[in-house]
Structure formats: C-alpha cells, structure tokens
C-alpha cells in the first residue's frame, strides 16, 4: 500500500532557520518540495563530487582483496583520500600506456638482439651507414650476401632480419620485397629495464589500491555522506522562499502519516508556525510503500518499472504471488528449485543486511520452482513419470501434469491475472473519479466472466446446438446489462452518442487486446518445456559421451552434468525472471490501468 502523505508549510524566523534545518535533518521525516529547477553552481559541484566518489567506491569494491594483509595509513581527510586514489589511477593509466609503448619497442628490437647505438654512431663517423631490413623468408636472395655488404642478424618462422652496410656514396639497386625498419633509439636491455620498472611500479600501485579497497571504502562512504549532507542542506536553502522582506523563511515538504506525530511534537515544542494539508488532486506527493513481509520482498521488481502514482493502488501485493508462480512455472524443475532454496539459505547468513530481502525472495522463487517441478515430475532434467520405475512413484505418476495440461494451465493463469487486473482497475477508477467512470470496465468484466462461465457449463454438460447456455435468455440479459455500462454509461460527463462511438472503439481494442494478452501467457508453458528439454538433453549427452573407462567415465559424466545443468540454470533462470516481469509490466499493468510515474520518498535527513 501507499502510505498517505501530508503537506507541511513551515514559517520560521530567519535567525532561527539554520537551527530549524539542523533539527529537521535529525528528525529525518520531511521530503522537501523542490520549487526551483536550476541548482546553484555550488550544488552542481557537490553533486558532481558525490557522483565521482560513488564511482571510486564501486571501483574499489570490485577489486579482489582476499590476499591483502598489509595495512596502510588511510588519510583521515576524505578529500586527500579521494585525491590519492585519483592520483594512483592517473599514474596507472600513464604507466599502462608507457608499458604498451615499450612492449611495442621490445617487439621491434628483439629480432636484432643486443647492440650498441654508440657503435652504430662510430660506423657512421667512419663513413659506413647501417640500414636495417626485414623480408619474408621465401623472398630473401642468398646472392645478396655476395653482392652487397649484408649481415643476417636473425630469422624466425616468417621473416629474415638483416643489416645492409653502405659506404659513402654507395648506391644499390632495390632489394625486392625487403622493408626498411626504423628502430627505436634505445637498446634491447634499456627497453627491458623500462618494462621491468613499469611493471614493478604498476604492481606497487595496485597493491596500494587493494589496501585502500580493503580499509578505505568506509572512509570514502563517510566522506561521501558528508558532502551529501552539505548538498542536502544547500538544496533545502535553495528551495526556501523568503517572506516578509526576508525576515521569515517558508519551507514546504511532505511527511508520511506514520511520522506526523514525531514531527508535530517537535514543532509544538519549538513553537514553529506550520500549516498542514492533505494533497490536492493536482499535486504529486512522494511515494512511500508499506507492504507485508511477503509483498515487501517484491518491491524492488516493481521499482524497476516505476513507482505507482499517489492517486492509485500499489500493485506490489497483487503481482507478487503471480510473479512467484510464473517464475516457478518457467523454470519448472524441482532440482533447480532446491538449488535456489539451498544457496539462498546459505548465503543469507553471509551477506550484509540490505541484501537479505533479495535472498528471501530467491527462496520463495525457488520454492515455487520446486512446486511446479513436483507437479510435472521433473528433477534435474529427469522425467520421473517416464524414466524412473521406483515403486513409491507408481501411485504418484498419474498425478503428474502433462505438457497439454501445462499449456492449458498457462492460459488459465493468464486469464485469472488479466481479469484480476481489471478488478484492480475498477478499484482505481472508483478511488480516483467515482463509480460512474468504472461502469465500462465493470461491464467488460461481466462480459468476460459470464461468457467464460457459460462456455465451461456447455462443455461440462455437453450441450447441443440448440441447448447452449451461451445463447440462453439469462446470458443475453446479462450481456445486455453489461452493454449498458460499455456503450451508454461509459463516461458520465459525455453525450450518449459519443459514448456509443467510444464504446464501439473500445470493443475493438478490448477483443483484440484481450486475445493478444491471453496468448502472451503461453510463454510460461514454452519456457518451462524448453528448460525441461535442455536438462534432459544434457543428461543424455553425459551418458552417451562418457568413455567406457573406469574413473574417466565417471569424471566426464560429472563434468558434462555440472556444465550442462549450470548453463541451463543460468539461461532458464534468467528467462524465468525476465518473462514474468514482462507479463507483469505489460499485460497485468495495462489491464490494471497502471499510471505510474511516482517519485520516491526521500526525506531530508542526516546521513552520518
């Protein structure tokens, strides 16, 4: 559910305003209303600093610090700590560039071995000019060594490297296929020394970064919070209006219903003048959700799309059970589900507190997967109904659902969720505009449910062509009543003829849209079937590709199973998360009339 918000307007004498803001920050319950779009230059700079520090924190948290033992002195000054890390990053960037250039020079010099450029200079002083060449081995002419002063330095699998010594004024004809080389003005040993020195410095700087990653992240977070605190204070001042020639400060903000008592107790104690009001229809209060232990776990999924608008219902508790079932339907393997449950249970005791709800959600998703795996008789790709002859399964096998049953079940789930969404849409329309605006949706619900009911009754009773409930008088009366809401009373403030036209257009959209939405749920069946087939294929591969050699057979068998099922869990698990999310955000949200666009409640509060 969405916690009701109340708007507060605070009127504070200017000399007391700084203390008022400090107290308000300590309370941490007021979401300040932003009145000015353009932040000040100081706010922009502080915002940039916060973003940069967040990037540094993420950069450090990605580093492997398991082998870091030596401690380093972490600067107590957050600004100096940030400057140190940036300096190391800059030096590393330069060193890597320098190292890359030196390695290119090494590749150029290695074929020529160690020689002295001083000796080359002496040759030039004596009137002899050395020219360096390389040529593909097949193009090298051995006769060149007799015709010219050529010294072959080295050869490899592809090229021959040689030096041509020219005397002053000597000219030669072209050496076909040979390319002249411009070597770096360094020796091989000098380049190797520079590479070694750069690699050593890179190692030392990385070790320092690793130490900062292990011992300095908390200091960075503290410094980031200090800047964020200053930014929040600047923002509060920026969105404050001056009244009575600056003698009185006016600040407005939203406070959840659950926190108004604490706020009002403080205001009364400090004799702060304030006005309190409920939101107007054109205002957009921030959104703070309050759900039960189960639905709360699925709030992060809803936030991936959008928070609800303040004037509508929070759909989290309504889509959460469906999402859990759809995940289990798509993955559909009891063995895979057990892995999710066990892994989440183990890691739940090792991760920070803020990640525990995510692992709790994984436990629920895994439990749903176990349930649907049990319904279909699938365990690590093994079809229990066909591949296992255990006596205790004989009475259970006939209860396993077939692929045809799962196909029908996917459509049933889709039908239930779509109609359920339409009921929520009715509730939203009544809440926002009154029951007159919900009559059209109510009419469509009646049409859909009555038609589905009559079709089931005809099927169960085996009705003949002339004795079908679908075309009975009672059903026609029901459709007529529903038609009044759809075509005549669909909008209480419009002309009846306009309503009829709008109803006809809505009929086209409803028929095509409902059919398309319903068929979208077939993906649940398709994904569950593909997951089971892939698991079965990897089991067959493990059996057929294992050589008939003791120990080796078992080893290959286990490797194929681990790799195959690991890959299947990853791919199918990803699809089992994405596609139910798609059904939630497209089919369910659309039929529920979801508006969205809510802004998250972020109170003005102290971070340190």
pTM: 0.77
| pLDDT tens digits, one per residue of 391-412 | 666 667 777 888 899 999 999 9
Would you say 441 and 429 are in contact if contact means Cβ atoms under 8 Å apart?
Answer: yes
| pLDDT tens digits, one per residue of 456-482 | 887 777 666 666 777 788 888 988 998
Q: pLDDT value at position 159?
A: 93
DSSP-based helix, strand, coil % in the chain, nearest 5: 65, 10, 25
Q: pLDDT value at position 353?
A: 85
Query: Which domains, ranges and CATH numbers included, belong to the chain?
Result: 1-35+239-288 (3.30.70.240), 38-102+190-233 (no CATH), 115-186 (no CATH), 293-591 (no CATH)
CA distance 562 to 535: 11
Would you say 458 and 468 are in contact if contact means Cβ atoms under 8 Å apart?
Answer: yes
Q: pLDDT value at position 185?
A: 87
The chain-wide mean pLDDT, for the chain, equals 88
In this structure, what are the phi and psi dihedrals at residue 360, rounded to the nearest 5 degrees?
-65, -40
- DSSP characters over 288-311: -B---HHHHTTHHHHHHH-BPPTT
CA distance 367 to 363: 6
Which letter does DSSP use for residue 482 in this model?
A: H
CA distance 327 to 146: 80
**To the nearest whole percent, how much of the chain has pLDDT over 70?**
97
State yes or no: pLDDT of 70 exceeds 70.
no
| pLDDT tens digits, one per residue of 423-449 | 999 998 898 888 888 888 899 999 899
| CA distance between the termini of the chain | 30
Residue 287 bridge partners (DSSP): 600
The three-state secondary structure class of 417 is helix
| pLDDT tens digits, one per residue of 42-66 | 888 888 999 999 999 999 888 887 7
**Sequence-ordered list of residues with C-beta below 8 angstroms from that of 492, at least 6 positions apart, any chain:** 434, 436, 437
The more confidently predicted of residues 553 and 276 is: 276
pLDDT band at residue 236 using 50, 70 and 90 as cut-offs:
confident
Would you say 34 and 239 are in contact if contact means Cβ atoms under 8 Å apart?
Answer: yes
Would you say 456 and 434 are in contact if contact means Cβ atoms under 8 Å apart?
Answer: no
CA distance 147 to 158: 24
In this structure, what are the phi and psi dihedrals at residue 256, rounded to the nearest 5 degrees?
-65, 155
**To the nearest whole percent, how much of the chain has pLDDT over 90?**
42
Beta-sheet pairing, 5-13 with 179-180:
unpaired
Would you say 118 and 186 are in contact if contact means Cβ atoms under 8 Å apart?
Answer: no
The more confidently predicted of residues 196 and 401 is: 196
């Amino acid at each position: 559910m969405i916690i009701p918000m109340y708007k507060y307007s605070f009127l504070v004498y200017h000399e007391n305003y700084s203390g008022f803001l400090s107290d308000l920050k300590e309370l941490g319950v007021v979401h300040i209303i932003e009145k000015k779009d353009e932040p000040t230059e100081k706010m922009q700079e502080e915002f940039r600093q916060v973003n940069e520090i967040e990037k540094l924190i993420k950069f450090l948290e990605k580093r492997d610090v398991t082998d870091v033992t030596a401690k380093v002195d972490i600067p107590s000054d957050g600004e100096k700590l940030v400057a140190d890390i940036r300096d190391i990053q800059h030096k590393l960037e330069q060193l890597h560039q320098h190292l890359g250039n030196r390695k290119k020079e090494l590749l150029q010099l290695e074929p020529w071995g160690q020689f002295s450029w001083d000796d080359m200079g002496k040759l030039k002083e004596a009137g002899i000019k050395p020219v360096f060449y390389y040529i593909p081995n097949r193009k090298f002419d051995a006769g060149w060594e007799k015709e010219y002063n050529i010294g072959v330095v080295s050869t490899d699998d592809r090229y021959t490297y040689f030096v041509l010594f020219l005397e002053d004024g000597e000219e030669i004809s072209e050496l076909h296929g040979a390319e002249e080389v411009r070597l770096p003005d360094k020796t091989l040993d000098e380049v190797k020394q520079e590479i070694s020195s750069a690699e050593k410095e890179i190692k030392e700087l990385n070790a320092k970064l690793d130490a900062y990653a292990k011992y300095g992240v908390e200091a960075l977070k503290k410094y980031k919070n200090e800047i964020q605190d200053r930014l929040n204070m600047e923002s509060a001042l920026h969105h404050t209006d001056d009244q009575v020639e600056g003698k009185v400060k006016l600040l407005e903000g939203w406070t959840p219903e659950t926190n108004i008592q604490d706020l009002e107790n403080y205001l009364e104690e400090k004799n702060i003048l304030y006005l309190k009001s409920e939101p107007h229809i054109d205002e957009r209060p921030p959104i703070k959700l309050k759900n039960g232990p189960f639905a709360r776990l699925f709030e992060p999924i809803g936030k991936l799309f959008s928070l609800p608008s303040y004037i509508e219902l929070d759909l989290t508790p309504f889509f959460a059970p469906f999402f859990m079932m759809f995940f289990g339907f798509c993955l559909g393997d009891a063995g895979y589900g057990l892995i999710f449950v066990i892994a989440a249970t183990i890691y739940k005791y090792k991760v920070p507190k803020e990640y525990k709800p995510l692992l709790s959600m994984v436990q629920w998703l895994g439990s749903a997967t176990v349930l649907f795996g049990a319904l279909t008789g699938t365990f690590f790709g093994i079809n229990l109904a066909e591949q296992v002859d255990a006596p205790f399964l004989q009475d259970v096998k006939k209860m396993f659902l077939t692929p045809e049953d799962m196909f029908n079940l996917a459509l049933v789930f889709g039908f239930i969720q779509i109609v359920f969404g339409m009921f929520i849409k009715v509730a939203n329309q009544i809440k926002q505009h009154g029951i007159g605006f919900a009559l059209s949706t109510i009419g469509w619900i009646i049409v859909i449910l009555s038609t589905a009911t009559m079709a089931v009754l005809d099927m169960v009773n085996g009705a003949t062509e002339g004795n079908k409930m679908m075309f009975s008088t009672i059903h026609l009366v029901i459709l007529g009543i529903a038609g009044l809401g759809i075509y005549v009373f669909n909008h209480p403030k419009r002309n009846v003829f306009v309503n009829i036209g709008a109803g006809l257009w809505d009929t086209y959209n409803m028929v095509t849209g409902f059919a398309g939405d319903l068929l979208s749920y077939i993906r649940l069946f398709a994904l569950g079937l593909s997951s089971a087939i892939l698991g079965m294929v990897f089991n067959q591969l493990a059996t057929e590709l294992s050589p008939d050699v003791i120990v080796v057979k078992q080893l290959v068998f286990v490797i194929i199973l681990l790799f195959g099922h690991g890959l299947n869990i990853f791919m199918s698990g990803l699809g089992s998360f994405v596609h139910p999310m798609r059904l939630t955000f497209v089919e369910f949200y659309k039929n529920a009339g979801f508006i969205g666009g809510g802004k998250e409640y972020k109170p003005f509060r102290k971070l340190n």
